[in-house]
Amino acid sequence: MLYKAYELQRSWLNSVSTVASLSSELLSSPSNPWSKTTIGAMSANAFDVLAHSTAAYGKPAFGITEVAIDGKTHSVIESTVLNRPFGDLKRFRVEGVDIVDGEATARRPKLLIAAPMSGHFATLLRGTVERMLESCEVYITDWADAKTVPVHEGSFDLDDYIDYLIEFLEYIAAQSGTERTKPARPHMMAVCQPSVPAFAATALLNQHDSPASPDTLTMMGGPIDTRESPTTVNDHAMNRPIEWFRQSVIATVPMQYRGAGRKVYPGFMQLSAFMSMNLQSHMMSHYEMFKHLTLGDEESAQATKDFYDEYRAVCDMTAEFYLQTVEEVFQKHSIPNGEFRHKGEIVDLAGITHTALLAVEGERDDISGIGQTKAALKLTPNLAEDKKKYLLAEGAGHYGIFNGSRWRTKVAPVVEEFIAAHS
């Protein structure tokens, strides 16, 4: 019933969005005498905001076509290099740098960005990819919307997420050499929730002395130990037993989708939870959008629209992945307690001796509190201290540590320097 109720609401809101959009166009039409009045213009802008806030959004495109490096603009080539049922591996190469005269080069570090599987598409990290392309050949995990994955493809849980990361790292490592150079180890960056599986995958690869062990792992706003500075998100996960989550927030995908019958944690529920945490802020953002439109500041209004186009494009995650994450990460604290197992094998964090670790946290992060990511540095006793680094991004919230001006000018340079130092 949960999903059906949502589909009914979505259909109604789509109708509202269509009517509001038509009303905005009518009121702003040059042939309409009311468009030249203050009340007409303000009404058109109000309908524009309403149309945008009630529209439904599908999976966005990355749309990265070029990047500036050392003052020169280069074309970016996007491709999918591995296809898997629950997520693909995408690669972004820069023409003239990663590819010269049609031939791949091995000149720049190869970075795998582990995108969160937390209700949004990997395109939420578009700004992260774009900025890192200035110094790295970038790969990213492009997770599938669980409601589009047929039931016959099987399940996908936290263990499978780790397996995907290991497979992707092995692929990148195998592709990193040329006829003239030996293969180089890849680098990995995990943004928010995937810090946990990325940390575990790194430990397993180090334990087995794999050539795919990343040279560096950057964890950004990740819930490694949620007992440190617990947030509202952490409290919500801790205050209810796992059975409550199983009964209250898990839904069945309806028949109109390819994944019909699959049990999922719907993306619309995750979005509702995030929106309600900062409802006043989101309302003010739309009010500011209205003011920008009224003042004729189309650029600022469009920036807000672009953000919400991405933020409100949500996808479902499998029930088994969601429930296992809640239980192991937020309730049992299996990683910091040294009890986390990957398919029966204890993940020994003390086995990390090769991969250098960078922990990045936001001063104003209300999703992963200060100290939660930094805890990873304490959990690796056999890793040399000169291979550990911590960055507290002053003034940055959760989103700001991987997107926006603070990310581009304050955080990304530190990440680049760290990768260069440990390649």
- Can you give 46-84 as a three-state secondary structure string? HHHHHHHHHCCCCCCCCCCCEEEECCEEEEEEEEEEECC
| Contact between 282 and 275 (Cβ < 8 Å) | yes
Question: Which pLDDT belongs to residue 52?
Answer: 46
Q: Could you read off the pLDDT of 243-258 as tens digits, one per residue?
A: 998 988 898 998 888 9
For domain 66-238+318-421, give the CATH number. Answer: 3.40.50.1820
Tokens matching residue 382: 């056999």
Task: Count CB atoms within 10 A of the CB of residue 339.
Answer: 12
Question: Which pLDDT belongs to residue 282?
Answer: 47
Q: What separation in angstroms does the CA of 228 have from each of 174, 224, 292, 336, 375? A: 38, 9, 40, 11, 8
| Spans of the chain below 50 pLDDT | 12-13, 16, 49, 52, 179-180, 282, 286-287, 290-291
Q: Could you read off the pLDDT of 258-284 as tens digits, one per residue?
A: 999 999 998 776 655 555 555 566 456
Give this prediction's pTM. 0.83
The helix (run of H) or strand (run of E) holding residue 232 is helix 232-238
Domain coordinates in residue numbering, the chain: 2-56+283-311, 66-238+318-421
